[in-house]
Structure 1
């Protein structure tokens, strides 16, 4: 008896409007609605800053819907097929401030985060063998022409390697490159 339905909305716009006027603790949001979709409505409700939690109810537990809904501020995600058995548990979890995710959804989000993290690490792994060598020589003070002789390519090619490496690693100048080379063991400091 702890649940009271205070309002029902049939569109995203109406959901946002009613949330603003009724200030419910939880909104159970359908993603597939006419007009403003559930993801947009969730974002708007989160932006109202009323502390209203959004539990998304959907037939899609696919990556394409899940991540945008979570990023929009949804506190939980429930597949409609599981709603009969899991809705109360989901509402309870969300009411307590926990996020509620089906196992598969949690795995999807973890995988997505891991992929993003690996994209953001601007490490030496991002460089090709040639780019790494060009950076190493450049950091040691070689000119493009000297590095080209060493690598048996044209100076223009060396400049290309260096430009690509700088772009990949967000490095601006020789000082940045020297620091990067030191941090990544490309320059063996003389004992």
Structure 2
């Protein structure tokens, strides 16, 4: 059973999402929040597997709330569900640590798949993610290409893929059966070899090299 916390400042939206999710039988909505502050508190007390996060809310917005939840080192992974366009909000959400991004216009057809992907430890991104990231290349320092994958050890490659997909050090450590500190070392070495500054750069590298699929499925063995 996947435990979900719904975060949206509109009660009608939360009710619709709850109905959609609970209809499948293997998703349990354990709580709801109408603000970023409430989301952070309930993520700690309710211990959901997935936080479905709106972006535009009064007070602490969804990006700030996502950053706080990720910084707390909780097991919960954040799936952003918003009416806002990816062009403006995808990269800030990923930088904050979101594991997935989905537009509300596609919720009726894609939300369950996104929840399942994120629950399995994968990222879930819109089809346009790779092109959105690539469009910013000209304004940034040149980045490594596919051939640079060979510069990584197997453990470094797995760690950077998990990092790119939104996993915390603790989550990656559980996947790799090592300590979080060891994972942080792998990620730091991989970022240094590949000249990556943060999660956004890592995600772009993983997309361009095929380590992460364009719809968000990670492929550590690629």
Indicate whether the TM-score tops 0.5: yes
**Structure 2 unmatched ranges of 5 or more:** 1-24, 145-222
Determine if the alignment matches structure 1 residue 88 to structure 2 residue 88.
no
- For residue 29 of structure 2, give the secondary structure of its aligned residue in structure 1: coil
Q: 2:68 aligns with which of 11, 23, 44?
A: 44
CA contact (8 A) 1:61 1:105 kept: no
1:100 has 2:124 as partner:
yes
* Greater mean alpha carbon deviation, residues 73-82 or residues 53-62: 53-62
Runs of 4+ in 1 over 6 A off after TM superposition: none
Structure 2 residue aligned with 1:117 = 141
In structure 1, how many angstroms separate the alpha carbons of the residues matched to 2:51 and 2:134?
A: 25
Q: Which structure has more helix as a fraction of its residues?
A: 1
Question: Aligned in 2, Cα 1:21/1:113: closer, same or farther, shift over 3 Å?
Answer: farther
Instruction: State the alpha-carbon separation in 1 of the partners of residues 130 and 111 from structure 2.
Output: 17
Evaluate the alpha carbon distance shift between residue 24 and residue 88 of structure 1 in structure 2; reply closer, same or farther with a 3 A threshold.
same
**CA–CA distance in structure 1, aligned partners of residues 99 and 55 of structure 2:** 14
**Aligned-partner SS, 1:27:** strand
Q: Aligned-pair distance for 1:23?
A: 1.1
* TM-score, structure 2 as length reference: 0.51
Are residues 1:73 and 2:97 paired?
Answer: yes
Aligned alpha-carbon RMSD (Å): 1.8
Higher RCO by CA contacts (8 Å cutoff, separation 6 or greater):
2
Matches within 5 A, 1:1-191: 1-112=25-136, 115-118=139-142
Change (3 A) 1:113 1:93: farther
SS of 2:28's equivalent?
Answer: coil
Q: Give distance in 2, aligned partners of 1:46 and 1:37.
A: 14
Greater gyration radius: 1
